[in-house]
Structure 1
């Protein structure tokens, strides 16, 4: 069984790489040129492309790797809601698993993610994230502050609803980070207790982000989502390659209207800490009962699940046809070969510029 799962994990990564490469070269790059014509249209086309791509990945996760999803708490069905999504960072793959949740509320098109700046340097994957307006953080406060401001202004100029996923813990949970987090938190005046199931949140980035999105009038809600795993936990990408897949992923949602949150920075910081204290309690109970809420409150709409299944399988079929078509064109036509070569050169130059920009000195690290 481990060998079968390992082969599944290998195929998953191979297909993900191939699909990302074809999407970048034959979809994202042509769409990127639209920014010189119409910024809003460019943003929406790129968001549509990434939404379709992420839907395909959910098909692989659910229908190929057989990962099930359980959702409890508030619904995210109100259309065009602009939000910050808060998620505990249990593994390095949480940001991928949440696509399965977002697909059920048709929010993949508007999902943006705050990622470590190192990901921007990864060929293919990093390029795609960069084209799609993801927020890259260096964990150096001056650079991150400037990056947040610039990205939020870009979102506003696009005139398109955005849901920005952030991880206030800064990194994923394991023994070393847990010890470091509890040690740091114990030195703070507001320290309550050491955490076992999550890390203490960094508040500076969230406080600034919330204030900036408020001032630009591009936020309606803050969605606090707690993720829990049943079965094996794939902590790193290598675990998934080894065939260690979670059996069921649980999501619990608490949606807050942005007007419910305090206005002052210090109070916002305390709100986030209280939110994470509740999350620690929620996770402690979850890993005893393996449910966030009573079964009767779980979303079990058979029609919705069927529709989502059909949509993600259709998206996979379309992408496979897309890959086959452009593979044939690449083999058959010299012009397409030259186009691919030009794109590779162009993206390489962009990557060099990105790396140089990332090496600029910054002032202070984030708390």
Structure 2
């Protein structure tokens, strides 16, 4: 059994590890405060209008409006990574089209991999429609858990006998090809560590499966459920492989701009017709895809880059500044209304918070009135 490899490539020159200076600490805390306050104000003011009232008449237009607003706020993060922290995000592989409906599968090196999918989605005009399959404990996060619920992320317990019903029910609501969708799945089910890699290799050896060094064996049932249910409405699957220079970053590294110096994102586009329909063949396809990821990451360790770099350009600094200014301006208006205007705005905030807390806790989303009337007539 081969040893698991630590994915720290040092072959490139000029790599930077920024020390956590007082300036970086203050700047990071200021950014975090801005992001938390903007998230809170956007959720409590917009959710009752677009995720409740509008949804009573049209799920499609509710999702379109929510995706637009979510995209405005979410674009603050690539701005932080690429413009404020000066992290180089280098894309390679294939250049994918804009505004496709896709299933995204990615390796899971660290707790922040999912954040760097935003950099690709922003470039493709699909930032606001990205959704994740995530562990249910994240739904308990203050404020952000409300957002995960409003934007219809799929929470799982990572036990298929519990998760299957939940996943299939949620996936069945995403089949309208007119709804914007980037559904992101991490088939490994957890982030990569050497200990988990050794356990994965032992399981592979006992079951006649390939022993992987840079990724864990993928869990196939969730992926197959996504492909099976969404096959008729998706354009493609994006197979994304993520690697970091120096070391894998944590959330606080991202906030304070300490790491990473470079993020490398390799993209492979697979049309749905090229993915087998039968479960056994689909599972084999996913395992083959992770063997390819494993080789890509081994090559990255040796060479310091993925093949065919430079498939995406830099973000527009002006565009990032305009978006950031708009989000902060909207938040400032809402903050003024909350503290210095009519009492009714305070009542609105309290009721909105109460709804978001209850809806998240009980996994409730309103159904369109047309569906409700139809059900009543049929019963």
**Range class of TM-score, shorter chain:** 0.7 to 0.9
Matches of 1:338 and 1:158 in 2, distance apart?
38
Matches of 1:49 and 1:242 in 2, distance apart?
25
Matches of 1:336 and 1:158 in 2, distance apart?
37
Q: After TM superposition, list the pairs within 5 Å mapping 1:1-367 onto structure 2.
A: 1-3=19-21, 4-33=23-52, 34-77=54-97, 79-157=98-176, 159-189=178-208, 191-193=209-211, 195-214=212-231, 217-234=232-249, 236-240=250-254, 244-294=258-308, 297-299=309-311, 301=313, 305=314, 308-333=316-341, 334-354=343-363
Aligned residue pairs total 343
Summarize the Cα distance change of 1:242–1:119 in structure 2 as closer, same or farther, 3 Å threshold.
same
Tell me, what secondary structure is at the counterpart of 1:299? coil
Summarize the Cα distance change of 1:158–1:31 in structure 2 as closer, same or farther, 3 Å threshold.
farther
Matches of 1:147 and 1:221 in 2, distance apart?
23
Contact 1:88 1:167 in 2 (8 A): yes
Runs of 5+ consecutive residues of structure 1 not aligned to the other structure: 356-367
Contact 2:72 2:323 in 1 (8 A): yes
Contact 1:228 1:283 in 2 (8 A): yes
Give the RMSD, CA atoms, in angstroms.
Answer: 2.0
Matches of 1:211 and 1:62 in 2, distance apart?
36
Runs of 5+ consecutive residues of structure 2 not aligned to the other structure: 1-18, 365-379
Tell me, what secondary structure is at the counterpart of 1:287? helix
Contact 1:232 1:244 in 2 (8 A): no
Matches of 2:126 and 2:318 in 1, distance apart?
16
Matches of 2:95 and 2:252 in 1, distance apart?
33
Task: Provide TM-score, normalisation by structure 2.
Answer: 0.85
Shift of 1:143: 2.9
Matches of 1:158 and 1:43 in 2, distance apart?
12
Matches of 1:242 and 1:40 in 2, distance apart?
38
Task: Provide TM-score, normalisation by structure 1.
Answer: 0.87
Tell me, what secondary structure is at the counterpart of 2:245? strand
Summarize the Cα distance change of 1:142–1:218 in structure 2 as closer, same or farther, 3 Å threshold.
farther
Q: Which has the higher contact order (CA 8 A, sep 6+)?
A: 2
